Every structure is written in C-alpha cells, then in structure tokens.
Structure 1
Amino acid sequence: MSPLRFLIFIGVLLSGGPIAFGQIPDSCKLNFGTNLAGLADYGTEIPFVDLMRTSRTWYTKSVGDPNDPFNSGFKDEMTFREDGYPTHVPQNVPGSDYPQRVVTIWAITDGWPAGAYTVLWEGDGELSFWGGHKNLKQTGDHRIVFDFPTPKEGILEMTIRRSEKDNPIRNIRVLMPGTESTYQTQPFYDLWLEKLQPFNSVRFMDWGQTNNWGQSGPGDIADDNLVDWAERSQMDHYTWAYNKGVPYEMMVALMNQENIDGWVCVPHTASEDYIRKMARYFRDHLKPDLNITVEYSNEIWNWIFGQTHWTNKYGVEETDAIWPEGTVPFIQRMLDYWTDEFDGELHRTTRVVGVQTGWTDVAERVVRNVDPESFDAVAPTYYFSFNEDGDETLDNLGSAATVADLARFVRQNMTQGVHFIEEVQTIASSLGKTLAFYEGGQHFTPHPFGVEPSYAQALLDIQRDTAMYHLYQEWFSALRSIHQGDEPWLMMNFSFVSARSARYGSWGILESMDQDTDLIPAPKYKAIIEAVQSYKGCEVRTSTAENKWMDSSIVVFPNPASGTVRFSGLEGAFRVAVMDTTGRTLKTTLIHPGDSLDIQDVPHGVVFLKLTDLRTGAVVHRKVVKTN
C-alpha cells in the first residue's frame, strides 16, 4: 500500500483566517434543518417501524350494544395502568348498560409499506383487527401476522377484546414488514431516514407535542400546577401520538445515530425538577460534538394554543402584569435552569427566545425583558405568503384562480415579509445576538384559517408546480440579501412530510415518504435540498453561546507513515470532530498537548477538523485533503 499523503490547509476553511463581517459567502448564510411532523394515526410521516407508537389514543366500544356506535364514549370511566393500557377488559362502568372494550385506529395508512406485518404483545388476552388487512393468523400465544397488500387509502382498527386483570395485555407492537428481529436495535424506518439524511438538524416541537402539552385542549388551564420529570412521556407508554409526545430518549437516539443537531421545546408547565433533569439528560446522553437548541414552549403569543392561555392566565391575569411582559418570567426561569445545568459546557447548547415575526412591538418587549446573558439567539419565523387583500381577490376569482394568480400575490407580499425579518434582526443585533429561525417556508392558507376557500384548487396545484420552486428560490435570495454578521442563520423548515390541504395548509415539503417526484413533483423539497447542498463545505457552527474564533496559533502536521496528524499550539484538552464536506461528523475524540489524531479510518478526500477548547468553548477549523 502506498503511504498516505495529506495536504494541510492552515486557514479556516478556504480562507486565510476567520470569516469576518461581510465576508461570509451567500451559499453559507442559510443553514437549513427541518421540523419533524407530530405523530398521528392519520399522518404520512412514519418515523418508527413499530406502528403502535403512532396509534390513536383509546376510544371505547360497548359489548353487545345493538346500535354499535363507532365510539361509545366511556373511556374516562375506565381504569388504566401507568403505561396507558387498561387494567382489564371488558370493564363495567358507571352510566353504561354494556361492558366496555378499548379500541385504537390508524385512519390513514398511506405511509405504510405493503407487506407482511407482525403483532406482538405481553399478557393474557385477545386482540382483533378490522380493516384492509388479509390472511390474519395467530401463530403463537402472543403473536399475530397479517398481510397488508394495499395500504394506500387504507384503514386499520385494533380492539382489545379481552385482557385479564392479573396479567393484562401490554407492550403491544405492530411491526412493519421485515423488522421483527431488528425493531429494538433499529427503531427508525429506513425510508424516513433516507429522506431526512440531507439535513444537519431537526426541530422536535411537534414530536414533543409542545402545543397544548399535557392538556386535553387549548382551554384546559384550570390550575397552575407544574409538572415534574417523572410525568414526562415514557418509553413504555402504549402510544406516542398523545398529549406528551415522543420520549426524549428517542430524540437523543435519533441525533446520536444520524449525527445531527436538535432543537427541543420545554413544556410550558415544566417544573424546576423537570427542566433541570431534561437539561441533564440531553447534556449527559448526547454525543459531545452535537448541539442542542432549547426554547421555552412554542409561540406563547398564539391564541390557538393552550400554552398561550396558560401563560397569560398565570403570568398576566393573576399577577396584574401586562401582556406580553408577564409571560417573560416563564421564559427566564427555563433559561436560568438550563444555563445552570450546562455550566462550563455552554458551547454544546444554543438558548433561544422565540418571537412573533410580524408583531415587532411584542417581539421587542419580550426580548428586551430577558436577561441578555441567559440566551444566545432570537428565534423568529421565515414564512412567506399572500396577505388578506390577496386572499380577498383570490376568493373573488374562486375556481377561476390560477397558480399564476396565487404566485403573483405571494410576490407582492414578499417585501413586507422581508421588512418584518429586518426589524427582528435589528432588535437582535442591538443585543449582540444572531437569528435562529424556528419555522419557515410557504404559508399558503386561507383567511380565516380552517375554512375551505373558493380558490382551493389553486392552493393545491401550486404545491406541485414549478412556480413554488421559483418562489422559494426568490425568498431565499431575499433573505441572503439582508443577512448580516458572520454567523449562518439556522433555518428550520416547516415541515417535513404531510399531505396537501387547502383548508389547513400544505405544510410538508413531501406529501409522502415514498413520493415519486418524477410523477408527483415536490418543488419545495427540491428547493430546500438544493439550499442544503449549497451549504456543503461551509463552516458548521451550530452553537452561538460561547463559540468564538481562536487565533491561528494551532498548527496541524501530517505523519504520512502512520496515517495520523499531530498538533502544535494546544493548551489543555480539546474535542476534535472530523467532518465531511456536508458537515456530518465522521468521528470525534479528545486530544491533549502531544497527542496525535488517527485518521486512517477516514475516507479519502476533503475533511474538516473542528477543534473545540473544552475550557472556553472556542473553536478553530482546519482543512485536510487525504489521498493515497
């Protein structure tokens, strides 16, 4: 074998030193991640091979009722275990002449792969299924198999017909084809991972069921009780498509497996115990080179959400404070606890304050009342859409409205959208903060939201039209033109995979995970992925907390004979991340003065070394070209 040869570039990336103000190239200004869709039985984004995780929360059916309604409505009268499974089935309950069973459903199975499914469970009891399956067989005391040949436009309902009190049914798993032997070690659906692969970061707002967290609905604000860590979503809960969402364990597992950064939202009713232990969990279980962005709840100014009503009631109405200032103590409390838990490691986390993009006064009054030492970035949105005047004109056009009409009104409103973001940038800059966008993309919804518009077909058509691709390109160019500073903006697309809807919005950049884009165009996905690709090779700096440039005193020396590199100028311990040109981490290690870094197992080509001073969080990058 020929000896390894290395070309060492001493400068940061391709320049001779740190990228200074005004020098950051356009391709490096926008760093795209994506929000993940929340779990739902009717969703087309399916991240887990165990489909029980996306099942609907239990409803009930009456045994022997000749009327046989879809839902008898007696769930609240039944008794359940801590993991959400019933203590026994059937149950006699007050108010019903008939014993009750529990049922769940997957109302839309469009995202499911065709094939042979396996159902496993523990306990003594009986399950039954109704829907589009075929050839159902019970092959053991705790195992059922069935074929699901045509999941498109399908449905599946599962009933616990019998569950014995001394050994109740629990731990039901509904497994995708071919995953029975691997679901425990490979819980994520490989097709979903494939579509997610281009992104370097994900936001878990919907995974964590942040909106209305732990509540039965937006109006469920009867008390100001705070929730401790023990009351978080647990791994053994029968479904994760409920009001506490996906457990943090799965968020960390995804980040570590895929080497991607994450963005989490702390529930609005989280206690000190909850916040501190949540921070510790991410601090102690994430790979040390990954960054976790943290935000208090989500959009606590948006009155369709329970967290807004809760923070208003207990931060404003019951304290005689004014809105929105009265909500700030909830934000500050979270930031203080999180900061305390990451003391000495703040380079591993980015603390953001979410703001409303279109209401600058509210944004400023929130941000300026938060301790500037306790957060790192201001988090607005980067949505673009038409305004109410455009909606009115489109409504008058009705079914005659075209994609071109819609695109014209969107373009007319872009200047206003850019202006709103510039105003937020001005606020952030005055505090020495950068921007990190928690959501963004097209926001084509009717006024009022949730009403079927007369121009519905145009709203659906543009989602697959090249006009949408061009609108995204124009919007990204506009954002790059106003970007200031030497920090890339983190841009969290909203959202990942979901079906089109004229009434409620077409949020997914893909309609389904198996979407054939040659047959069904995905212009939003195309535009986003091109932007992600253009960011390749740019410096990856996900933390804005204590992440500052070091001088050029650190020098890298190759040792071709041993396949290692060594360093001079190190003082103290450093974490070294070896990254490819997409910013994905290939390996990490700790080094001390005199240590060498072994990169024999790193593929040939261009790689970047990211050196982080563990004392200060300061960062320096070196470029290495490895050849035979």
Structure 2
Amino acid sequence: MKQRRFDAAWAALALVCLPVASLAARRSPIATNLAGVADWTTEYPFVNHFKMARPWFSANASHWEDTARPLLLDSSGHVKALAPGQYARSVLFAGSPPDPGLSSKRFVVLFSGSGTLEYGNVQVVSRQPGKDTIQLKTVAAGQDTELIFIITLTATNPANPLRALRVLPAAGGICAGDPYKQVASAAACNSSTLYRSYAKAHAEILFMPQFLAGLRPYRMVRFMDWQRTNNAEMQRASQRAFERHTFWTTDRGVPLETMIRLANTLGVDPWICIPHKADDQLVTTYAQIVKSLLAPRLRVHVEYSNEVWNGMFSQTQYALEQGTALKLDSDRYTAMAKFYSRRSQQIFAIFKRELGGTRQLRRVMATQAVVPYFTQQILSYGDARRSADLFAIAPYFGTTLTTAAQAAEVKRLGVAGVLAWLKSPAGAGGRPSNAVLGYGSLADVDAAVAAQVAAVRPFGINLTSYEGGQHLVAAGGLTWDAQLNAILDAANRHAGMKQVYLQYLSAWRARTGQPLTHYVHCDRWSVWGRWGAKEYPSQPRAQAPKLDALLQYASANPLEP
C-alpha cells in the first residue's frame, strides 16, 4: 500500500517532534472544530505558510486578474508556463483587522527553478538565488488595516519552471521533542544538535508551535472545514487532496494525511467527514490512510458529510434526490433522513472492514438539534442502532437574526440585555423567554438537548455534539446593519460571555456526559459570524472570554475517555 511509505519517514520524525499523548487532553471535556484553511483566515497552522495562500490566478500588468487566460498548471498546482504578458498571482494574510502578532514579521521565500517573483505590500529585505527575505507591512484597508502579502510570478522558464515555493518564518524554530514551544535560536535547546530552525528544517516541522499549543486543551479535533465538506463535489480518490499539492486552499481541502499527522502530534482523536458524493473507493482510500497513519492509541470519528439536513448546502439537495429516487419514504424529507442513515451505515461498514474492527473507530450520525423526529427516523432505519456509536447535534445558543423586529429588540436590549436574555429562564409553558428573539436562550437549548437525549435513549446510543457555542449572527437584510453587528461583537467580547459559556458547558455535561465540540478554536470575526473562541493566534486569553471559559471549564472538569 502506498501509504506505508509515509510510515517509515514519519516514524523517524516522531523521534524528533512527536510528544507522548497528553493525559490532560484525553480527559478534557471539550473538543473543537478548526476554521477552514484560507488566505484570509487568522489561524496559521503550517510552518510553510504558502500552503494557506490563495491558489495561483491569472493576472497581467494592467489587471489584478486576467480571467480571459487561464493558467497552465501541473498536477501539483505549479505554474508550468506563462503566456506573453501573463502573470500568476497569489495572496497571503489577507483580511482585516490583521493579527498584531504578524506586524513587521519577516519571512523567507524559498523556491526552485528559474523565474521572477515580485512582491506587493511588503519590504524586500534581501534577494538571493532561490531565497528572498521579506518583511510584512501594515497597509490601509478601508477604515481598517491589513497585512496582505501579494506574490506575483511575472516570468518562468518553461524548461525549468519556478516551483516548490515556500513561505517560512525567517527566524526561530523548535527544540526536537517539544513541538509546542517556539525558540529563538539553538541556545534555547539543551544541545545545539536539537535545534530545528523553520528555514532549514521545514520538511520536518509541519505545524507552527503556537498552533499546536493552542489545541492542547482539546480531546478531539473535527476537520469538517479543513476538508471543505460543505458543497463538496469530490467523488473519486483521484480527486482528493495530496500533500504534494502547492496549495491546501482549493476545493480539495487539506490532505487527510496532514489531519492524521496533526492528531498524532497532539495525541487527540481526529473527526473526519466523508464527502456526500464520495464513491466506495474514495471511502476505502480514506479508511486505508487512517489505518496506515493513525497512532494506535487514537480513534477516528467518522461522519457522513455535514448537516445533510441543512438546506443551505448542496448535500441536502443530493440526499433529497437520492432518498426520493430510492423511494425510501413517501415524504421527501423523511426519505432524505433515511438516505443519510443508509449511506452512513455503508461508510461505517467500509471503515470497519479496513480498520479490522471498531477498536480505533467511532461511528457518528448527526442531525438538527431541534428536530428529534429526524433523530428517530435516522436511527430507526436499517441497522443504524448497531452501526453507530454516537449521535451528534449542534446545540448552539443565541439565534440568527433575520427580521426588523429582532434587530430592534437587540438594539433595545443592548449588550447587557442580550447577555441577560441568554441566561434567562424559559417562559411559561416552556416557551422562549423573549417572544421577539425566539429560540436561543440557554434554557431553550437545554430543553432541546433533553428532547434529543430522550430520542436516542431507546436506541442505546449516546448523544454528543459536532458543533456548539454561541450563534449570535445577523442574516439576510440585516447582514450589514452596523449598529446591530457592533452589539453582537461587543456581546462576544464582554466579560459576561464567559459566565454564559460556563453555564452552558455545565448544562450540556449534566444532560449528556459527553464533551462539547466547540465551533471554532480561532478565526477572525465578521458579519458572517463570531465563531472563533479567539480572534487571532496572539490574542491574550484575558481578551477572549469564550476561550477563557473553555479553558477554565476544561481544567476544572475532567471527563474520562
């Protein structure tokens, strides 16, 4: 099997970089989703930052983008040749506001082959054959600033194309055996032979120490967004992401091998999602990669797609069509739920076969938190109760604001009032405590969780979470309401949000006894949501009340594996 070739190399590397599994992480009551890898996100997982850059796009001297002339690329995403007057362009660290920790930071740009690179919005410190050094600069971006790093390939030699471009921190590295701590030089290691600089050992050091350290408190990591699960078109094994690919920001997502390496490094369980159109060979390939690479002490959580019930994603339409075509039920939405159950069971069977049993396998089905009817339909279909180990929901609190009345109510309440609403008891007869805002208080969520616990109980399956946390977001015609968004931002940054989270986590644990899988660990907030427990990697814990709550709760409330 091809994957076995990875084992020898990475087993040797483990002696240098991989720590023993953290007992604290294995007993943690919290898990997390990771934000998707993109040029504009504020999580920087990889030592080679170019992996998260925007894929090359065609440009020219007069236009930012040249849509009339597609680029000629090889199978890894390298530019093979440029047409006369054509450029290839990419960007990194886009978006505002920027992470203050990146300000004035220096990077080295390494490359092979022959060509010409030009850089924008940075200071070029030095140029050498195959190696440039640049320093980031803060630039204006509307009413804010950003650190967008523009990389433009203006010429390349078709006989020896410029390729294998890497963007690495110019200074620092790690001491072998401690991948969680960045050090400035060899002097910080017990022996100079233990020092691994980013610039020289980037083939060995895959993940940034700050990224790894931030994930240590979690017992499990869900890779749904790393995999670009929503609206995925991937069907065959040949279409998947490979580690040799120049960019991990395409529709293929991050390679599964990289996700398993991260799980092994952290000593935590990985949670992976199978694309909704995946054929059996792609599923088999995924299972074989897991078998080949996953550390023996860890278990992979496997889920079919993501939120197949959610009409905003193409996987819902696909399941509706498949369930209807198979005549699984006269009601199309019930047929959708049954198709989801059917395909999940088929995927679980493939993983069980390839892994030689379920010792390293946790089979997860999921549905909408407030619809126990779907739970019952999914678990009643076929052999679901014996095929699944866990049933997951996303017990978010807060709400998606879509009406003028809701916007007016939030503006009337203000930050303090919104936080008070979240902690308010249920109204008479179990109705929402705020008739205008509707469902969204902790009491509302607790009632929904209780209903789902009751729904899964007859099937002998535990209820867990695939996502969770706050869900304060404006949508539709309210998306760009500045006053409304300012209140939602301020509520998320308010010290009182920590107490809301602590109450929420305690209630979830009391109902289910399962870890809460937060969405997400780190990501820049925007009008599209305030999902990150912290907003950027260098943000102090004291300025991130959601993260503070998660960490405090984790340290005080261990949960046995």
TM-score category of the 2 structures, normalised to the smaller one? 0.7 to 0.9
What SS class does the counterpart of residue 554 from structure 2 fall into?
helix
Task: Give the structure 1 partner of residue 116 of structure 2.
Answer: 126
* Aligned partner of 1:525 among 547, 552, 560: 547
* In structure 2, distance between residues paired with 1:144 and 1:29: 45
Q: CA deviation at 1:306?
A: 2.2
Q: CA deviation at 1:440?
A: 0.3
Task: Give the structure 2 partner of residue 116 of structure 1.
Answer: 106
* In structure 1, distance between residues paired with 2:207 and 2:27: 31
Q: CA deviation at 1:333?
A: 2.1
Q: CA deviation at 1:370?
A: 4.9
Amino acid at match of 1:54: M
Q: 1:56 to 1:388 in 2, by over 3 A?
A: closer
Is 1:352–1:436's contact at 8 Å kept on the other side of the alignment?
A: no
Q: 1:378 to 1:320 in 2, by over 3 A?
A: closer
Whether 1:446 and 2:474 are equivalent positions in the alignment is yes
Deviation string for 1:264-294 (max 9, x for gaps)? 1111122211111211211221110111111
Is 1:30–1:489's contact at 8 Å kept on the other side of the alignment?
A: no
Task: Give the structure 1 partner of residue 522 of structure 2.
Answer: 497
Task: Give the structure 2 partner of residue 145 of structure 1.
Answer: 133
* Aligned partner of 1:512 among 524, 532, 536: 536
Larger fraction in helix: 2
What SS class does the counterpart of residue 301 from structure 2 fall into?
strand
* In structure 1, distance between residues paired with 2:305 and 2:199: 36
* Aligned partner of 1:74 among 68, 75, 79: 68
* In structure 2, distance between residues paired with 1:123 and 1:367: 56
Alignment of 1:304-323 (within 5 A): 304-316=312-324, 322-323=332-333
Is 2:390–2:461's contact at 8 Å kept on the other side of the alignment?
A: yes
Deviation string for 1:499-556 (max 9, x for gaps)? 222x2110000011101244xx2110011111211233x422xxxxxxxxxxxxxxxx
Is 1:403–1:467's contact at 8 Å kept on the other side of the alignment?
A: no
* Aligned partner of 1:334 among 335, 338, 347: 347
* Aligned partner of 1:238 among 240, 246, 249: 246
Amino acid at match of 1:184: A
* In structure 1, distance between residues paired with 2:405 and 2:28: 33
Q: 1:29 to 1:60 in 2, by over 3 A?
A: closer
Whether 1:395 and 2:413 are equivalent positions in the alignment is no
What SS class does the counterpart of residue 291 from structure 2 fall into?
helix
Task: Give the structure 1 partner of residue 374 of structure 2.
Answer: 362
Whether 1:50 and 2:48 are equivalent positions in the alignment is yes
* In structure 2, distance between residues paired with 1:231 and 1:193: 28
Amino acid at match of 1:60: S
What SS class does the counterpart of residue 516 from structure 2 fall into?
strand
Task: Give the structure 2 partner of residue 19 of structure 1.
Answer: none
What SS class does the counterpart of residue 402 from structure 1 fall into?
helix
- For normalisation by structure 2, the TM-score amounts to 0.80
* Aligned partner of 2:155 among 162, 175, 178: 162
What SS class does the counterpart of residue 231 from structure 2 fall into?
coil
Alignment of 1:94-493 (within 5 A): 99-106=85-92, 107-108=94-95, 110-111=98-99, 113=102, 114-131=104-121, 133-140=122-129, 142-148=130-136, 150=138, 153-178=146-171, 179-214=198-233, 226-227=235-236, 229-316=237-324, 322-323=332-333, 324=336, 325-344=338-357, 346-371=358-383, 372-386=385-399, 393-397=405-409, 399=411, 401-411=413-423, 412=433, 413-448=441-476, 451-453=479-481, 454-483=483-512, 488-493=513-518
Deviation string for 1:163-212 (max 9, x for gaps)? 22222222110112322112211121111112112122111111111112
* In structure 2, distance between residues paired with 1:434 and 1:327: 19
What SS class does the counterpart of residue 165 from structure 1 fall into?
coil
Q: 1:456 to 1:387 in 2, by over 3 A?
A: closer
Task: Give the structure 2 partner of residue 83 of structure 1.
Answer: 76
Alignment of 1:506-585 (within 5 A): 506-518=530-542, 521-536=543-558, 538-540=559-561
Amino acid at match of 1:135: V
What SS class does the counterpart of residue 347 from structure 2 fall into?
helix
Which stretches in structure 1 are left out of the alignment for 5+ residues? 1-27, 93-98, 216-225, 541-628
* In structure 2, distance between residues paired with 1:182 and 1:49: 10
Q: 1:475 to 1:129 in 2, by over 3 A?
A: same
Is 2:375–2:456's contact at 8 Å kept on the other side of the alignment?
A: no
Q: 1:489 to 1:172 in 2, by over 3 A?
A: same
Is 2:391–2:456's contact at 8 Å kept on the other side of the alignment?
A: yes
Deviation string for 1:273-330 (max 9, x for gaps)? 1111211211221110111111011111112222222333344358685332334332
Task: Give the structure 2 partner of residue 38 of structure 1.
Answer: 36
Q: 1:270 to 1:35 in 2, by over 3 A?
A: same
Which stretches in structure 2 are left out of the alignment for 5+ residues? 1-25, 140-144, 172-197, 424-432, 434-440
* In structure 2, distance between residues paired with 1:387 and 1:450: 10
Which structure exhibits the higher relative contact order, with contacts defined as CA atoms closer than 8 Å and separated by 6 or more residues? 1
What SS class does the counterpart of residue 409 from structure 1 fall into?
helix
**Larger Rg belongs to:** 1
Identity %: 24
Amino acid at match of 1:526: D
What SS class does the counterpart of residue 439 from structure 1 fall into?
coil
Q: 1:210 to 1:44 in 2, by over 3 A?
A: same
- For normalisation by structure 1, the TM-score amounts to 0.72
Task: Give the structure 2 partner of residue 546 of structure 1.
Answer: none
What SS class does the counterpart of residue 440 from structure 1 fall into?
coil
Is 1:30–1:491's contact at 8 Å kept on the other side of the alignment?
A: no
